[in-house]
Amino acid sequence: MPSTFFGLTIASSGLSAYQIALNTTANNVSNVQTKGYTKQVANRVASDCIRVYQKYGSVGTGVTTTSITQLRNIYYDTKYWYNQASVGLYETKLNYMQQIENYYIDDDSAKGFSTILNTMFNALDTLKNQSGTMDARQEFVGSVQNFATFFNATYQGLAEIQSNANEEIKSTVANINAIAEKIANLNKQINVIEVQGGYANELRDQRALLIDELSAIVPTEVSEIPVRNSNYPEMETGANNYIVRIGGQTLVDGYEYETLTCVAREHKVNQCDNEGMYDIKWTTTGNTFAAGASSMSGSLKALFDVRDGNNGENFTGAAQVLNSRQIQIISPSITSIEAMTMPETGVLTINGKTYNYTDFSFELDDEGNITSYTFNLENAMSTEERLQVDGMKASIGSSVDVMGVPYYMAQMNQFLRSFGSMFNDIMLKGEDLNGDATDYYSFITGTDLNGNDFFFGKSDAGYGGTVNCTDSSYYKLTAANLCASSLCVKNPEKLATQTFRDPESGVDDYDIMEELAKLKSDTVVFRGGSADGFLKCMISDVSIDAQKAEIFQNNFLNIQSQLETQRMSVSGVDEDEEALDLIKFQNAYNLSSKMISVMAQIYDKLIQETGV
């Protein structure tokens, strides 16, 4: 039968249980503003009853606190983590799109393309009436230099954005590795505590915060599997195997974690890429982690989109083997010199295998369209490789269906090559102030690595023939090296203003100037429009991308807010709820105290007055 003091024991269990409950509530209240803290509850059950040899059989023994656990809903956590990847994607993309957009602003605060183009053609109009004066010639040459400087500066700005995105990729990968290590360490600490029967609530909060951070970088999946006793499969040990996957691949598995490594590319993918662009590989296996794949999301995906986005316009075609060191590409996706984006030396990908090439040439038909390319390989192919390559699809780089830095650079180059070839073709027909022919230099040109001007010649000079990428074709002209002819900069007399001099009309003939003036608004130069429509095309592209990113960012931020509200409704600390719990537990504690007081009086009566 129970002890004489059994009632006192029952009452003391109530005191102990509600003391723990009050302490848990105090912990919740003190962490009401702590980021990532999850509401904790003290779980109580009735203590096991004991058997007594009376008619009523058994009696209760009070209350027992079994555990202090978190209130967390894995369903809301999973939804939140899934949405975070989209928030990270569009938040990062919007930031970079706004930076790109800044380079095409043309208003009172910044002189942009339209202002500079108008200034150039105004100087051209002045030159028509004063072609014999050095001042007018210098003014026009200076305006063309400003035109070139605008594109040089825009190129440098875009190159810096690409470089910043590349460096952010490296720092983001380092952050992923640090998070993986922390999660693996927390897994061990949590299991050490929980295998002994406890609950590592605060450590679990820290781990969940790390998953929150990771899920904004890459798509993240989490699973937690109880570890069972190998001898008794139905028996759980108290430990758990916590697995984290990013992009469908395992990053953390219990106490073990994998790391990612940034590997600098040996070759450019696009003609105007910066050197040393990073690819991401798994450190242990060396396999590529395709963070920029279309199925991916998160801020890391956005960085790849901005850095590598080519609007799906990378070079592709069908491979034909000419010999062990030459591959011809027929049916190419790029059929004009103006649109060429491939680097002089790079990597061809055919049938999943890469082949380094040292240079290439291309065939032009009678209308100036490129019919095929021939790539010279760095290493000879084996007979087996030739059989595997022949007839297969070839590509340079990947199709990234996003308008990133490579796309905007390619658009600038395409405009400049088209505009420059038309401009130069007109001026090649003329003569300078001294009556000498001007068919030995290009007025709108670029500079090579030694600072010398390119001479492009007539734009249709190579039609029906073969051109090497190392030749002085308009492929060489980019926004990076654009400039006005150094010959005309030094001596404006060399500038052509007329096709021939009529001795009776003097030096002020300007038929060439009239032809050049039509390039501004009356000649198709770029994407079916005239030269002055270039900015509209660029603004349209970048504005649409920026607006899309902003709209999607706001949508996913709204979803994030709703999911956070739902998460917090379960796991958050609510001041009103805690205040109510304080009153409930205080009253329960007071009742247990009162019970002890009553029992003390009973025992006093029993011992003092009925004792023998």
Residue 502 pLDDT grade (very low, low, confident, very high; cuts 50, 70, 90): low
Specify the pLDDT at position 418: 94
Whether 601 shows a pLDDT value over 90: the answer reads no
Per-residue pLDDT tens for 131-180?
A: 888 999 999 999 999 999 999 999 999 999 999 999 999 999 999 999 99
Residue 504 pLDDT grade (very low, low, confident, very high; cuts 50, 70, 90): low
* Beta partners for residue 221, in sequence order: 245
How much is the average pLDDT of 342-351?
Answer: 94
Q: How far apart are CA 273 and CA 309, in angstroms?
A: 11
Whether 523 shows a pLDDT value over 90: the answer reads no
How much is the average pLDDT of 336-341?
Answer: 94
Whether 56 shows a pLDDT value over 90: the answer reads no
* Beta partners for residue 396, in sequence order: 315
Whether 544 shows a pLDDT value over 70: the answer reads yes
Whether 1 shows a pLDDT value over 60: the answer reads no
Q: How far is CA 289 from CA 52, 258, 373, in A?
A: 68, 12, 31
The closest of 512, 511, 363 to 424, measured between CA atoms, is: 512
How much is the average pLDDT of 90-110?
Answer: 85
Specify the pLDDT at position 336: 94
Per-residue pLDDT tens for 289-310?
A: 999 888 899 999 999 999 999 9
Residues of the chain above pLDDT 70, percent: 97
Tokens of 48: 């096991």
Q: How far apart are CA 340 and CA 328, in angstroms?
A: 16
Mean pLDDT for all residues in the chain: 90
Tokens of 546: 């920026």
Specify the pLDDT at position 354: 93
Hey, is 238 helix, strand or coil?
A: strand
Whether 3 shows a pLDDT value over 90: the answer reads no
Q: How far apart are CA 551 and CA 63, in angstroms?
A: 55
How much is the average pLDDT of 16-39?
Answer: 91
Residues in Cβ contact with 416 at an 8 Å cutoff, skipping those fewer than 6 apart: 151, 444, 477, 478, 479, 482
How much is the average pLDDT of 242-259?
Answer: 94
Tokens of 70: 């978190």
Residue 60 pLDDT grade (very low, low, confident, very high; cuts 50, 70, 90): confident
Specify the pLDDT at position 215: 95
C-alpha Rg value of the chain to the nearest Å:
38
Tokens of 451: 């600072």
Residue labelled with tokens 């014999």: 132
Whether 234 shows a pLDDT value over 70: the answer reads yes
Residues in Cβ contact with 306 at an 8 Å cutoff, skipping those fewer than 6 apart: 92, 93, 96, 97, 161, 162, 165, 402, 404, 405
Read off the pTM: 0.89
Per-residue pLDDT tens for 408-441?
A: 999 999 999 999 999 999 999 888 888 888 888 9
Residue 611 pLDDT grade (very low, low, confident, very high; cuts 50, 70, 90): low
Residue 505 pLDDT grade (very low, low, confident, very high; cuts 50, 70, 90): low
Specify the pLDDT at position 198: 85
How much is the average pLDDT of 562-585?
Answer: 90
Specify the pLDDT at position 487: 93
Instruction: Specify burial of residue 100 (Cβ count, 10 A radius: 0-12, 13-18, 19+).
Output: buried
How much is the average pLDDT of 528-548?
Answer: 86
Q: How many CA atoms lie within 13 A of 508 on its CB side?
A: 9
